[in-house]
Structure 1
């Protein structure tokens, strides 16, 4: 729920997972696509002795940089969203007119759930928010936020290795490219299955769709010279 994350600052209520299935799989796929793209680009620009090592370190450097950027943006998003929820709670607390507070609460609801909840059901929530005496004055980071940011960084960096490691293991760059792309598509298939099961509409179908996306991307990279 939206207010759970806000009330986490006061250790009230149960916490949501730091990174859910969608977060983890999305970051993994992001890292795979980034590494695959850079490996393809570097393979078109390098040749000869040491080309595989260059591709490995280029892909790793790319994902180190993007993993750091993504982790920082995760912290920015987290603090921004927490600030919005805190602002809403403080506005409701200081609003004297109950109907205005309910309208503000309704506006904050996701669009899909708004028609399912009546104002009479929102009023007890508004009243509870208004009676909490010690809302924090400003949003702040929690330990779990840092853990989540580190998790994102680690996932993006680790996703480099299935794509780039074959270039250290195989002397022939063409063979390494084939192995790299096969491993990437296999991991994308597994990622798609995880998303499919999480969404409740069949893992195999989602896995095949994600693998197909990987094939299309690989073909695009090859067409561009990768």
Structure 2
């Protein structure tokens, strides 16, 4: 009877999300705050029979513009971060003095991680970089930059709807405003919970903190006349 050694199946590599939880939550909250501020502060469009539609499209246009600007900044920030990492790798690879190369790597470490990494570990990284056959001379845009930018744009724009849509579907503007703010605070609570779970700060604590921030912003808008 032939016995064959078990074949080790290579687990498929898990693809990292282009936008992590912090990116998603912060962009969503940014869109919510933008729409909330716009809805609370703009009174010029609240006159007439189609006031709700005017306000909705005004808020949507505002977040479309800011979503586009934020998406462009995401692409540029991604390219800059990649360029910085590439410049570090090239500096280490080209440095002939091993001690200097290790010092360059140490200087690039976050202060909180510096005591946890010794020079022997950094030397291993230096050796791997030195053995790399070729590195691109400069950073280039990649597909994930634009996919991430699209995600940022959609998050900011989608945040408009729970804030502004009640003014379209509900005739009474006071009732619509109350529902709009309640929906916004509920979404901020959920977003805070997600952020707290991701960072380890505690889901409920972060959810209530984010909601409190929304309440403070809403009160500020009301005091300013919104």
TM-score if structure 2 supplies the norm length?
0.91
Query: SS of 2:43's equivalent?
Result: helix
- CA shift, 1:58, in A, is 0.9
Q: 1:154-204, CA deviations, whole angstroms, 9 ceiling, x for partnerless residues?
A: 111001000000010011111111010000000000001001111123211
Q: Match for residue 110 of structure 1?
A: 110
The gaps in structure 1 that reach 5 residues or longer are 1-12
2:180 equivalent to 1:180: yes
- Tell me, in whole angstroms, the C-alpha distance in 2 between the residues paired with 1:89 and 1:202: 37
1:103 alignment partner, SS class? helix
- The residue that corresponds to 2:223 in the other structure is 223
The separation in 1 between residues aligned to 2:51 and 2:131, in whole angstroms, is 65
How does 1:51-66 map onto structure 2 within 5 Å?
51-66=51-66
Would the aligned equivalents of 1:86 and 1:139 in 2 still touch at CA under 8 Å? yes
Q: CA deviation at 1:14?
A: 7.3
d(CA) in 2 for partners of 1:105 and 1:78? Answer: 21
Q: Output one character per residue of 1:88-123: Cα deviation in whole Å (capped at 9) or x when no partner.
A: 111111110001101111111111101111111100
Larger radius of gyration: 2
* Structure 2 SS opposite 1:43: coil
| Pair 1:14–1:140, CA change in 2 (3 A) | farther
What is the match of residue 202 of structure 1? 202
CA distance in 2, matches of 1:201, 1:151: 25
Aligned counterpart, 2:170 = 170
Structure-1-length-normalised TM-score? 0.91
Q: Which residue of 1 aligns with 2:158?
A: 158
Distance 1:182 1:14 in 2: 38
Superposed displacement of residue 46, structure 1: 3.1
Contact 2:45 2:55 in 1 (8 A): no
Question: Is the Cα contact below 8 Å between 2:45 and 2:54 reproduced in 1?
Answer: no
Kept in 1, the 8 Å contact 2:35–2:59? The answer is yes
Map 1:1-226 to 2 at 5 A: 16-43=16-43, 46-226=46-226
Superposed CA deviations along residues 19-40 of structure 1, whole A, max 9, x for unmatched, are: 0000000000000000000011
Asked whether the 8 Å contact 1:44–1:225 carries over to 2, the reply is no
Instruction: Compare the two structures and name the one with the higher helix fraction.
Output: 1
For this pair of structures, how many residues does the alignment match?
214
Tell me the SS of whatever aligns to 1:206: helix
Q: Aligned with 2:47: secondary structure?
A: coil
